[in-house]
Structure 1
């Protein structure tokens, strides 16, 4: 069924983001698409040899998940290879860059909290790769744990959540992100998370559920947005599903 809470990348236009080359972004979750105030989620497509030039976001956090392809990420002067299925996290004020090295384009899901919306005041551009600011705050950067133990989540059943971007793993202030594996007929009972917006990205399978009493269905590749204090429930259909659950809140959340 059609729902204003379910979004698809094909439904939004692409744009060329500032401080990037060879990049086309689609802002799937944002103010203009679902009225989000705490979180922004986009899908970027980046060609070989291109990516993000060195820059920092003074007042927001950025988490990135590689859907396909390979690239070199650098944060506070530390470089590492990123492949499909890997996460990276850039804390507030830390300079970072990214370059695609695979022949095939990279597809990357990027999460900002609070929203970025290409606000020029929300980005600081480095004066080239030798800018000394690119190597400061290295002590604040933590590697995202790729093999953390899965655990149960309150209000969920038949589901296990592996934390990736949290206060405990990378000292995130605004974001709480986990990878979900949900059995067939598993899901979440109706619940709210106060002061928090949620996004569920379906990587495989299908679900049906309700948000604030309105029914929805979502399939692999769909994004489901739950507004702040929204009442949310869902059940996985035959075969179960895999998903990424994003929760965004203020720094005291």
Structure 2
């Protein structure tokens, strides 16, 4: 079953992003691929010793999930080795750097809100290693909880839901990201979210559902794009499924 709402990395060409070395990105969801206005989702592949030069994105939030490999992430006042399953978050305007330290290439899912689209005006490079902006805002850099308390999300049933990137966890203003484990009988009742774009990344299992009445199916490693205001429903599958639900909206006050 094919659907315009289901996105696969195999269908997307790679490109070399600015301010990076040894990196091939695939834009899975964005303005250019699905007409997204609030959300961009990339899949990056980065070789050893390469990564992102110190830079910041004024007006954009960036979240990343490591899928494979190991890398060193740097934020003001903080260094962290990131491995598969680890998240990172870069608030708007905060300088950050990343370098692959494993022999295995890093594969990473990167999320921007609003979309970046390689806009040169949406990125600022550090002037050098002594640039004072590299340490600006260290007190505001928050650790992402590795296992936050479970919450409920309206319309979801039979689901274990934990917040990852939210206002409550890291003071995000554009993004809400949750891990969602659906029980065999779990799913989501038909619902719409106004002024919000969504993406679902299927980590394991398969999901079936409807978007604006159109049936879709997505397997592990695939993404589902839900446009602003579209009606989404998810069906029971008889097996456990692991999902990441991503929501992008207007900035919170």
**Residue of structure 2 equivalent to 1:13:** 13
Deviation of 1:82 after TM superposition, in Å, equals 0.7
Gap runs ≥5 in structure 1: none
Gap runs ≥5 in structure 2: none
Deviation of 1:130 after TM superposition, in Å, equals 2.3
Query: Which aligned pairs between 1:115-134 and structure 2 lie closer than 5 A?
Result: 115-134=115-134
> Given the two structures, how large is their TM-score scaled by the length of structure 1?
0.98
* Secondary structure, aligned partner of 2:235: strand
Residue deviations 1:36-94 (CA, integer Å, cap 9, x gap): 10000000001111100000001100000001111110012421111110001000110
Q: Is the 8 A contact 1:145 1:164 kept in 2?
A: yes
**Residue of structure 1 equivalent to 2:250:** 250
Query: Which aligned pairs between 1:222-237 and structure 2 lie closer than 5 A?
Result: 222-237=222-237
Query: Which aligned pairs between 1:181-192 and structure 2 lie closer than 5 A?
Result: 181-192=181-192
CA RMSD, 1 decimal: 1.0
Q: Is 1:111 aligned to residue 111 of structure 2? A: yes
Query: Which aligned pairs between 1:95-244 and structure 2 lie closer than 5 A?
Result: 95-244=95-244
Structure 2: how far apart are the matches of 1:52 and 1:188? Answer: 37
Structure 2: how far apart are the matches of 1:237 and 1:11? Answer: 26
Deviation of 1:110 after TM superposition, in Å, equals 0.3
Structure 2: how far apart are the matches of 1:219 and 1:199? Answer: 14
Deviation of 1:184 after TM superposition, in Å, equals 1.2
**Residue of structure 1 equivalent to 2:75:** 75
Structure 1: how far apart are the matches of 2:133 and 2:234? Answer: 45
Q: Is the 8 A contact 1:206 1:236 kept in 2?
A: no
Structure 2: how far apart are the matches of 1:150 and 1:93? Answer: 30
**Residue of structure 2 equivalent to 1:32:** 32
Residue deviations 1:137-180 (CA, integer Å, cap 9, x gap): 11221111111112221100111111010000000000000111
Structure 1: how far apart are the matches of 2:132 and 2:252? Answer: 32
Which consecutive aligned stretches of 4+ in structure 1 deviate over 4 angstroms post-superposition? none
Structure 2: how far apart are the matches of 1:185 and 1:207? Answer: 12
> Given the two structures, how large is their TM-score scaled by the length of structure 2?
0.98
* Secondary structure, aligned partner of 2:215: strand
